[in-house]
Structure formats: structure tokens, C-alpha cells
Structure 1
Amino acid sequence: MAHQTLAIIPARGGSKRVPRKNVREVAGKPLIAHTIEDASSASRIDRTIVSTDDEKIAKVAEEHGADVPFIRPEELATDTATLSDTVTHAVNNSQQEGPKYDRICILQVTSPLRTPEDIDGTLAKLDETEADSCLTISEYVTPPQWAVARGENESLYEFFDFDILWTDEPARTQDIPEFYHPNGAVFATSIEAWETYKSFYTPHTVGYEMPPERSFDVDEPWELELVRCLLE
């Protein structure tokens, strides 16, 4: 059975760390345009909408090919508003018009290095595994087992395993189990699973691996500059 997949790009107007982040120019176009173009080029996306509370973001999104069928209510545009509420609002509005979607795919503007192939790969894995949801993951560049914390008098102590960290011959990276983290680029789930869990983290969530060099999540000014250099 062919799926109908709705891509939702959340793009709130307020951004404290990087003001007007979503429409800042990166490699000759607004940051949000990179995500819209990725969604448009992905073969498994049927429609792309932007959920925003900001008229300027809405205008830029439409200029680059996304639909903006509604303006997000103020209560869903605060610092405390949850992604879950934003997604549910977008799904409910979209299901009232046109075709009924059976899958949703969240694409964050802050992951401009993701590719259309990453989007299609995530959705394909969701189908192949028959999981409730699939999200993009990336291997830790630095093993989390090497984490240290500060105690009294600035003393460092191992957070996980003394034998891995505090030895004369620390464990080699290749001998440490691999750990991954969600990188925020793509989240996909079925409408049925979303209605049940209201989350992308379910009893059966699988991961689509992306390389670290495409897994930057822009949250600070220096990260925006780094991504700008990589794209240019």
C-alpha cells in the first residue's frame, strides 16, 4: 500500500541564542530553505508544510516552495511550548483538508546538512522494520564513556566507568561499545502511532544512522558559522 507522508517543518519566530535563526542567510539562501528543498527532493514526501507563528518566516517558506496553511497559535510559539503539541496541531489541521496522511515526518530547520537521501532512508527503514517510529542517529564522536564531572575543589571524577578512563593504558576507542545519539535531523512515525504515543519515542523506535559530519544541530552562533562554512 502506498503511503501518504506529510512533512512538517517547525519554525518558531523566537530564537534567543541565534536571533531570527530560521531566516538567516546560509550559503546564499535562508536557513529554512535548505530544509524545504531537501523535503521537496525526497521521493517519499507527498506534501511539505511549515508550522510557524511568524509572518516573515511564512512568506520566506512559501517563496521556497513550502505550504503554510495556517499560522501557529501564540500558545504554541512560547519557550515552553512542546514539539508534541505543535505536531498534533499541524496534523489535526492538515487532516481536515485534502488527502488523509498515514505518516508524518518532522524536519528541523537546524539540521541543514541532512540530505533528501537521509529523509527517504529514514522513511524506508520505518517501512522495512514495521516499527512505530524511526529517527536519525549519529555515533558519538567522543565516546560518552570518557565523560568526567567536576566535584569538590574542581576535582574530576569519572561519570561512567573508572576502569575505562582512569588507567595507565586507557581503553582504545575501537574496544569501547559504540553509542549513538538522536541528531535531530529527521523524525518519522505513522499517524496511528502518533495518536497512541504523542511522541517519536515509542516501545518500538528504530534509528537511521547519519555520519557525524552531516549531523550538526544549529543551536549556537558558532554552530551557524560552522554550518555556513561547510555549505559554502
Structure 2
Amino acid sequence: MKNYLVLIPARAGSQRLPGKNMRQLGDKPLLGHSITYALKNGLSDIVITSNDAAVLDFAAQNEVQVIKRPDALAGNEEPVVTALKHAVDHLQKKYNAVILLQPTNPLRPKGLLKEAIAVFEREDCDSLMTVSRNEHKLGTISNHQFIPYNYKMGQRSQDLEPLYYENGLLYIFKTALLNQRKLLGEKNYPLIVDHPFAEIDIDTEADFKKAELYLNHFK
């Protein structure tokens, strides 16, 4: 088994849902669900990277290691990879691979992480990402006309060519990729997740309310 580091990025300054990382979802803040998920899967090397005072305080209270993220690496346009590299560079211990758990995806199928790690090691991947099938009939609009993209008008939904979307539930990647400012490598494995939790990615109040409904229904 590889030497894994769990990284949880939780910057301040969400515009659409202020303070979302510390928003209470069920019995714990949004951030706490990712911490608990890692611990329940037997992973104890957990690091939070954040510039949010409330997050830093929460991490200290729960004895989770934290790397204070410079504000320059926490802007709306800043890619998360720079914050992850900053965190890894400031750790004394070295890791073969990183597991990225985003607080905005707080609900994850119970056995998903162990399955993902097993696939990552078996396939000797550079990286692994979780995806889910999109079964919508998609199209574009041009000059007020709808133009089908992934189907022909009249085609049955069950006959659509399978398309998948990046659901953000988790990522695993070799730590060395951070030196290239990358999370996904040339040998990237798409792990298909068929579970309602894949629909939850919290950016707005409506997303949060949906997460509450799913948490109460599926617990």
C-alpha cells in the first residue's frame, strides 16, 4: 500500500455561499464530513489547507494538522493545485500519493474510498478521478434555435451514447504531479460512481438544502 496524504482545501471567501466550509450539515460542519470520512477509512495523515480563521480554529480543536494558506493562493481565480503544492512543500513527511477530499462534496458512498485506493494501486495509475453518467439530452442554442449535441431529435434516452461528468467526490494522484502543477496525469483512471451522492456539489444555498435532504434520507 502506498503512503497516502489526505488533503482538504478549505479557503475563505466563498461568494455564492459565504462561510460554507463551516456551515453546519447534520451533526458537523461541512468540512467535518471529509475529515470523518478519511478517519473512518483508516487514514490518519490528514492536512487542511486554509486561510479561513474559523477553519483553522476548527482544525486545532479537532487535532487535525493545518497549513495556513497565503491569501495570494486563495483567490477566486487561483487553481486549487497551487494551494495543494504549497501544503505538501511545507510538510516534513513525504508521501507517494495524495487523496483530495473537497468539503463541497461532503456526502460520499461508504466503500468508495477503499475501492478507489484498490483501483489506483492495481492499475498503477498516475491519477484517479470519480465520474458519473449524465443521461440528459444535451444541446446548444444558436440564434434562438436548440441544436442537439449528444442525440438526435426523437431518439430515446436509453439509446444515448454514454457521457460522463466529473463529480468531484474524490481524487487520488501521485504527489510528483504537483511539481508539474497538475492533479491528473497521463494515466488517469475514471472510476464510475452510480450513487445519488454524486449529485451533491455545494456552491449555493439550493445545493446545501439538497445535501440536507440527501443526508437525512440516506443516513
Q: CA deviation at 1:212?
A: 4.2
User: Is 1:18 the equivalent of 2:17?
Assistant: yes
TM-score of the pair, normalised by structure 1: 0.86
Q: CA deviation at 1:114?
A: 1.1
Q: CA deviation at 1:13?
A: 1.0
Name the larger-Rg structure.
Answer: 1
CA contact (8 A) 1:141 1:212 kept: no
Classify 1:41/1:65 alpha carbon distance in 2 versus 1 (closer, same or farther; 3 Å). farther
User: Is 1:174 the equivalent of 2:174?
Assistant: no
**Structure with higher strand content:** 2
Q: CA deviation at 1:59?
A: 1.4
User: Is 1:149 the equivalent of 2:140?
Assistant: yes
CA contact (8 A) 1:32 1:109 kept: yes
Q: Which residue of 2 aligns with 1:28?
A: 27
Q: What is the CA–CA distance in structure 2 between the aligned matches of 1:64 and 1:138, rounded to whole Å? A: 33
TM-score of the pair, normalised by structure 2: 0.91
Give the residue type in structure 2 aligned to 1:105: I
Give the residue type in structure 1 aligned to 2:89: N
Equivalent residues in 2 for 1:101-116, closer than 5 Å: 101-116=95-110
Q: Which residue of 2 aligns with 1:79?
A: 76
Q: Secondary structure at the match of 1:165?
A: coil
Between the two proteins, the alignment pairs up a number of residues equal to: 215
Q: Which residue of 1 aligns with 2:49?
A: 51
| RMSD (Å), alpha carbons | 1.7
Equivalent residues in 2 for 1:152-163, closer than 5 Å: 152=143, 154-158=144-148, 160=149
Q: Residue by residue, what CA displacement relative to the aligned partner does 1:53-84 show, whole Å, maximum 9, x if unpaired?
A: 0111111233345221x211110111121111
Q: What is the CA–CA distance in structure 1 between the aligned matches of 2:18 and 2:202, rounded to whole Å? A: 12
Uncovered stretches (5+) of structure 1, i.e. residues with no partner: none
Give the residue type in structure 2 aligned to 1:18: L
CA contact (8 A) 1:11 1:50 kept: yes
Uncovered stretches (5+) of structure 2, i.e. residues with no partner: none
Q: CA deviation at 1:87?
A: 1.1
Q: CA deviation at 1:156?
A: 1.9
